[in-house]
C-alpha cells in the first residue's frame, strides 16, 4: 500500500485528540481535519430542520474551517458556530447520527478532500481504520473515563457552560459504548496504530512522544 502524508489521531471523546492534532499541525505546518465537527454539523443542521440529503452540499459550500493561534473555528455563512457545535447536546446527537451509513458514506469523500500534498493531521474515530487507512503515521490516544471527564469539565466551565461531573461521566461512558459498539466503523485502534494512554500525562508529554514518532516514521 502506498502511504500518504497523513497523521491520524483517533480515540474516545475528550481524550485530547483535538488539542494534539492542532498542536502538531501548527508545529509541522500541516492541514487539519477535525472529523468529529462534521458529524456535529449534521446534528446542527438537522436541528434547523434541514433535510439529511442536503447537508453534504451545505458543508461543502457554506462551511469554513479557520485555524487560529490555539483553536480551530468553524463558520457557517460567516457566522462563527464553533461554540454551538461543541455543546454536549450536539455531541450526543452527533454520536447517534454517526451510526447511519448514509451519513458516514457522504462524509467519506468530504474527509478525503481535506488531504493535500502539504500533508494532513486528521482526528476522529475511524481516521486510521477507514478514511485514511493509507496514512503514514497512526496514533490512538486514550485515557480513563474519569480523566477525560475532568478535562471536559474544565473545558466547558472555561467556556461558561453549565456542567455536572456525574452527568458528564455518564455521558462520556454512554458515548464510548455507542462509538465502540456500532456496526459501521466502530472506534478501534488500527492494527498499525501507536496507542498512547495519556491518563498520567500532560499534553506536553503527549506532544513530545508524537514528535518523536513523526521523526521516526513520517518525515
Ligand atoms: O470527536 P467529537 O466528540 O467531536 O465527535 C462527535 C461524534 O461524532 C462522536 O461521538 C462520534 C462521531 N464521530 C465518528 O463517528 N467518526 C469520526 N471520525 C469522528 C466523530
Residue 160 zone, left/alpha/beta (φ > 0; ψ -120 to 50; rest):
left
CATH, domain range 4-207: 3.40.50.300
179 in contact with ligand 1, CB cutoff 6 A = yes
pLDDT of residue 87: 87
Length in residues, the chain: 219
pLDDT of residue 88: 82
Q: Find out whether 94 is annotated in a ligand binding site.
A: no
Domain boundaries, the chain: 4-207
pLDDT of residue 19: 94
Low-confidence ranges of the chain (pLDDT < 70): none
pLDDT of residue 160: 86
57-101: per-residue pLDDT in tens? 999 999 999 988 878 999 999 999 999 999 889 988 999 999 999
Q: Find out whether 36 is annotated in a ligand binding site.
A: no
Are 208 and 27 within 8 A, CB to CB? no
Question: What is the residue with the minimal CA distance to atom 16 of ligand 1?
Answer: 125
Ligand 1 pocket, mutate which of 36, 37, 138 (most atoms under 8 A from CB): 36
Q: Find out whether 19 is annotated in a ligand binding site.
A: yes
13 in contact with ligand 1, CB cutoff 6 A = yes
126 in contact with ligand 1, CB cutoff 6 A = yes
Q: Find out whether 18 is annotated in a ligand binding site.
A: yes
124 in contact with ligand 1, CB cutoff 6 A = yes
Grid coordinates standing for 113?
478532500
19 in contact with ligand 1, CB cutoff 6 A = no
pLDDT of residue 159: 81
Question: What is the residue with the minimal CA distance to atom 20 of ligand 1?
Answer: 36
pLDDT of residue 147: 97
Grid coordinates standing for 170?
455518564
CA distance from start to end of the chain? 18
148 in contact with ligand 1, CB cutoff 6 A = no
Full 3-state SS string of the chain: CCCEEEEEEECCCCCCHHHHHHHHHHHHCCEEEEHHHHHHHHHHHHHCCCCHHHHHHHHHHHEEEEECCCCEEEEECCEECHHHHCCHHHHHHHHHHCCCHHHHHHHHHHHHCCCCCCCEEEEECCHHHHHCCCEEEEEEEECCHHHHHHHHHHHHHHCCCCCCHHHHHHHHHHHHHHHHHCCCCCCCCCCCCEEEECCCCCHHHHHHHHHHHHHHHCC
Q: Find out whether 178 is annotated in a ligand binding site.
A: no
Grid coordinates standing for 114?
481535506
* C-alpha gyration radius of the chain: 16
Amino acid at each position: 500500500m502506498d502511504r500518504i502524508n497523513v497523521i491520524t489521531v483517533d480515540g474516545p471523546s475528550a481524550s485530547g485528540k483535538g488539542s494534539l492534532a492542532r498542536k502538531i499541525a501548527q508545529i509541522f505546518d500541516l492541514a487539519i481535519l477535525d472529523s468529529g465537527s462534521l458529524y456535529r454539523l449534521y446534528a446542527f443542521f438537522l436541528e434547523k430542520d434541514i433535510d439529511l440529503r442536503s447537508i453534504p452540499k451545505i458543508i461543502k459550500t457554506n462551511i469554513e474551517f479557520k485555524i487560529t493561534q490555539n483553536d480551530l473555528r468553524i463558520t457557517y455563512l460567516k457566522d462563527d458556530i464553533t461554540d454551538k457545535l461543541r455543546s454536549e447536546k450536539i455531541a450526543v446527537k452527533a454520536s447517534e447520527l454517526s451510526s447511519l451509513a448514509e451519513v458516514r458514506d457522504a462524509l467519506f469523500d468530504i474527509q478525503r478532500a481535506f488531504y493535500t500534498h502539504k500533508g494532513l493531521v486528521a482526528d476522529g474515530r475511524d481516521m486510521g481504520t477507514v478514511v485514511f487507512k493509507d496514512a503514514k503515521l497512526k496514533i490512538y490516544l486514550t485515557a480513563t473515563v474519569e480523566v477525560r471527564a475532568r478535562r471536559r469539565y474544565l473545558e466547558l466551565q472555561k467556556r461558561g457552560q453549565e456542567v455536572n461531573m456525574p452527568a458528564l461521566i455518564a455521558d462520556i461512558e454512554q458515548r464510548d459504548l455507542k462509538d465502540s459498539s456500532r456496526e459501521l466503523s466502530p472506534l478501534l485502534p488500527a492494527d498499525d496504530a501507536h496507542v498512547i494512554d495519556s491518563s498520567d500525562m500532560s499534553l506536553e508529554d503527549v506532544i513530545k512522544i508524537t514528535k518523536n514518532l513523526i521523526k521516526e516514521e513520517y518525515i
